[in-house]
Chain A
Amino acid sequence: MYRKTERMDDIDTMFSHLLGEMDTLSQSLMPAADSPEVDAGSQGNCPISIGFSDLNESLNEMEDQDLDALVADLESTSDGHDPGDQGAGSLAAASATLGPAWEPKAAATLPPPSNSVESSEEMVEPQTKADRIHLALEKLKEAKVRKLIVKLLMSDGSSKTLMVDERQTVREVLDKLFEKTHCDCGIDWSLCETNSELQIERGFEDHEHLVELLSAWTRFSENKIYFLSRPQRYLMFTEPQLFYMWKKKTACLSGIKEEAKQLLIKEHFGGSTVIVPDLEGKLYLKEDGKKLWKPHYFMLRASGLYYVPKGKTRAISDLVCFVRFEKVNIYTTKNYKHKYKAPSDFCFVLKHPCIQRESLYVRFLCCDDKHTLSLWVNSIRIAKYGTVLFENYQTAVKKASGSQPLHFAADRYNSAAPNPAPPKTTNVEDYPHEPPPDFIPPPPPSQNTHV
């Protein structure tokens, strides 16, 4: 217990520190109001940066209702997170709770209940000091949140403009778009980035943070984001046999039963380790800086993509690591037969997300046909993202089946405060308790055997 008491004292000291820091922080944010970006935002001290195009232009392009929504967004944001007067007020309340003289009345200085989530959070009196620390930390984070105004292109050629803050995942942006577009909320909807210079595209993964992804773009980037349905997005979960039984003929795979699929998913994604498809075969590799493609034997392992640069044996000692997936993303390509004289148009690209132009650090690979390309691209996604990809899929399925009422999400986004616990985690928790049925074990050996 002694140790714990000491801790608590520490917390007190830290809290007073924290308050001091908050002051400095809010002051340091004030001058930001002079910057033209925020001026255009006109709502005060939210650090908003502009995306890839002119802000005024984007704002002009917005539909009236969207603009209203954006303004509402900004207002609530500044209400909730203004590190100036109100923010300091709410923090003062928080700090007062540490003193012995604290009375519930102090709650009156809390922000107005217009942002429902946050206020409900604070109605419940923080149980422990740890809770209060968490709360204070949240506030601290709020003050520094980066926001982007993003123009998303629809498949019908129209566009939507959204404000996205850096904490929002692609999943959350998709949910927001579901509300705005009244689409079918299916699992195939995705945000897709295109790079016209390299003629590549990539569907963002649902757990990625949109603002972070966009910050890799250059200032005058021609890159675009599309909101569209990509039918093969979760192919590894809807048709797992294509990946985990890829050596079998497609004819025998087509008749596979649903429970056999569920078993495959359980075997490869249900354990403590995600099992990557044991893909291997010939791919064409574009020679550095040349329009020359040479065939090599490639092999996918959980630790990376390997190939046999020379010789013909495929012994483990001949395998050379071609690339590991931690720092590269996988992109599909358009019209590479023409652009790079590729053997086919079924190519994929591995590169660091920051690289936007052709470079020696961009790896170009080419497959024989569309099916092989789909196998490699999706299997590499499994190797790169592992369990997260499966969680994304489960969330997407839940979303599509409408098990989560839409208004819940709506509430969340009209209010400024983030929900500290994303609903995703509960979904993931739920799943393992209802495992797909196991296959029925074969009957014990028949009687006619010799004993």
Chain B
Amino acid sequence: MASWDLAVTVEDLGSDAPAVTLSVASDLHVGGVILKLVEKTQIKRDWSDHAIWWEQKQQWLLRTAWTLEKYGIHADARLLFMPQHKPLKLGLPNGKTLRLKACFSRPVFQTVMGICKILDIRHPEELSLLRPIEEKKKKKDKDSAEEIYDLTEVPLSSASRPLLYDGMPAHFADSPEMEAVYKMLSVTQPPPAPEVIAKQYRPASVVDKAHINGRWLDSSRCLMQQGIQENDRVWLRFKYFSFYDMDPKYDVVRLTQLYEQARWAILLEDIDCTEEEMMLFGALQYHISKVSQSEPQMVSSNAAMDDLDSALQSLEVKLEGESSSHSFTSTINMISYFRPKRLTLKGYKQYWFKFQDTSISYFKSKEESIGEPIQQINLKGCEVAPDVNVTAQKFLIRLLIPAPEGMNEVYLRCENEEQYAQWMAGCRLASKGKTLADSSFQNEIQSIRSFLAMQKKSSHGNAPTNDESINTHSLVSPRYHKKYKAKQLTPRILDAYQNVAQLSLTDAVMRFLQIWQALPDFGLSYVVVRFKGSRKDEVLGIAPNRLIRIDLAVGDVVKTWRYNNMKQWNVNWDIRQMAIEFEGNINIAFGCVTADCKIVHEFIGGYIFMSTRSRAKSDTLNEELFHKLTGGHEAL
């Protein structure tokens, strides 16, 4: 067979170096080309990760047994010999940027699997890569100052190394720098400054929200084919909102990053929530950031020790509870009334108060406290609300005590912060049916104190102080920055905080995720579409179990189709239209406006793939099925 010259550019020789010319025959297989190439460069190194990229065809020549003829390669082919794994800048859900070596030659689905292995995130099928939103040129100088965490030194084979005792993959233990990267991945970030939140892009409508979904990379094609170059920036995000088998024990990084993504979705109003919900999210963020500072990592301790600990704790409680030594007393001003009598408002009166178990009793004076109290009020099941203004030295505890006739309203006016913290903590525990002997009593006092301190600081906020403490505006979306001053937010968040203050770090993160997942709009990814036969744009919402059609004029869901009624779906690639058939002869077809129809197709197929996962098969990912369901029968 006649031999001819084939020119191959070897990336490792530098961009200026001329292409290496080989004399080849058409029946030479790709492996042979590579062998010749390596010999000719006379460089001794590990070439195992290298492969040939065919530029005109935008294709990797990965089948080394195929001949040049089979690939259809002639002398005019522009070939590039380079590593398959190249550095990629990865924007993480927590806003940090990581540099690591990702696979540029395999379908993105596999690239994500590789990335997740390095980062120690289970269930990589739930994540994918996005082209980032272009940043404004102005910020350029600021960008260069951005800290980039480097993981490019992680050897490619390292993913198979065993986990360390505390669940951290071994490659993170190699150096202090690597440990710092793991810390960034596995520990939640402190609340962002309010200006940072305000500066970020916020979708104002459902159409705005749809645009982001046009940026997903195609899972069935590789990075090179999608124009992603070495050192380009892409975002790693959870794409399919169907989180399988969450386990705080094995999912430290996964949970942390999911929490970060959820937190930003809330802060940037990517998902709607009510004011009450926002305050609760704010309280949880405050709590999580506080606890993660004291707890270095979400490492779960030995279960057996936990049992013993809790047994001991309850023993302690029990013993102390019986000894009835747990009570405290002080002089407090009180006012009490039934709501209908509110108009006959009398002034505060001073009594001698005693707090014991879950009840408060009051007496005319300390001297009379040996006898019968004027009244004893059991606080179990009551509502406790703060009414505090530190600058005005107002420390009110408002108690709503249920009685057969309705609610008794009682106000206790404390003298100072200390008294308030103690009595408030007591009231809160009692309302939950816990006595003062409960081990959480001191914590409760502490958390009230720290919140009071926060209000103190934010009340100095008039002067532009560079305060280290958390600004409550960091915990809520910009809508509430306008609606409330930081000082006004504090008591609202404090109110929600009482219900979460005792949660462990993991529990608080889980609670945050649960409330997020319970929001009515959770899990919806929007795309603007044009239904067949319709003349206006509408929005298709893709959820883990259904599709919804939103009429932009009405702004409301007009139709819901569930996947389990879906008989078949396909794509007409020529007119780029998706057609879906549901049971009962329901056929819909639409073209996609804000995203490629491959993206929409992949979303729907992807969710169906997610629902096929089961515990028994969870170890191995059925990649073939994923591509079958998401590929739209496009040639791979």
Contact = CB atoms under 8 A, between A and B. Distances in A.
Interface of A: 7, 10-11, 14, 17-18, 21, 24-25, 130, 133-134, 136-137, 140, 218, 245, 247-248, 252, 260, 263, 267, 271-276, 278, 301-304, 306, 316-317, 319, 321, 324, 327, 352-357, 359-362, 433, 435, 438-439, 441-447, 449-451
Contact of B517 (A18, A272, A301, A450): A272
Contact of A442 (B404, B568, B635): B568
Interface in B619-636: 628-629, 632-635
Contacts of A263: 564
Nearest to B499: A326
Interface stretch (B21-29, B91-99, B314-322): B314-322
B312 interface: yes
Ranked nearest first, the 4 interchain pairs of A and B with the lowest CB-CB distance are A359-B406, A354-B402, A302-B518, A445-B570
Give the interface SS of chain A, mostly helix, strand, loop or mixed.
Answer: loop
Contacts of B629: 441, 444
B276 A451 contact: no
Given A302-B518, A304-B276, A442-B566, A433 B571 contact: no
A360 B479 CA distance: 33
A273 B523 CA distance: 13
A438 B610 CA distance: 11
Contacts of A133: 311-312, 315
A14 B316 contact: yes
Given A303-B277, A359-B407, A438-B612, 5 more contacts: A14-B316, A245-B560, A267-B544, A317-B479, A321-B274
B280 interface: yes
A355 B402 contact: yes
A450 B322 CA distance: 79
Contact of A361 (B314, B322, B407): B407
9 contacts: A273-B513, A317-B479, A321-B274, A356-B404, A444-B628, A444-B629, A444-B633, A445-B568, A445-B571
Contact of B608 (A316, A324, A352, A441): A441
Contact of B612 (A18, A324, A441, A443): A441
B608 A442 contact: yes
B574 to A, nearest CB: 5
A327 B312 contact: no
B451 interface: no
Given A10-B312, A11-B312, A360-B340, A327 B407 contact: no
A327 B405 contact: no
Q: Which of A275, A442, A451 has the most CB of B within 10 A?
A: A442
A451 B307 contact: no
A130 B308 contact: yes
B536 interface: no
Nearest to A257: B564
Interface in B198-255: 243, 246
Contacts of A433: 615
B403 interface: yes
Contacts of B564: 260, 263, 439
B574 A442 contact: no
Given A11-B312, A267-B545, A444-B629, A361 B612 contact: no
B274 A319 contact: yes
A78 B273 CA distance: 55
B167 interface: no
Interface residues of B, number: 68
Which of B311, B568, B569, B634 is packed against the most chain A CB atoms within 10 Å? B311
A317 B272 CA distance: 9
Nearest to A448: B570
B634 A451 contact: yes
A442 B569 contact: yes
Contacts of B314: 137
B73 interface: no
B611 interface: yes
A14 B274 contact: no
B400 to A, nearest CB: 8
B275 interface: yes
A24 B323 CA distance: 9
A352 B322 contact: no
B381 A301 contact: no
Given A218-B404, A442-B568, A446-B568, A130 B311 contact: yes
Contacts of A353: 381, 402
Contacts of A17: 319
Given A134-B311, A354-B403, A449-B633, A275 B518 contact: yes
A442 B564 CA distance: 9
Contacts of B405: 355-357, 359
A316 B515 contact: no
Contacts of B628: 444
Contact of A451 (B246, B339, B633): B633
B445 interface: no
B514 interface: yes
A321 B276 contact: yes
Contacts of B383: 327
Interface string B532-566: 00000000000011000000000000001011111
A451 B573 contact: yes
B61 interface: no
A450 B572 contact: yes
Contacts of A303: 274, 276-277, 280, 515, 518
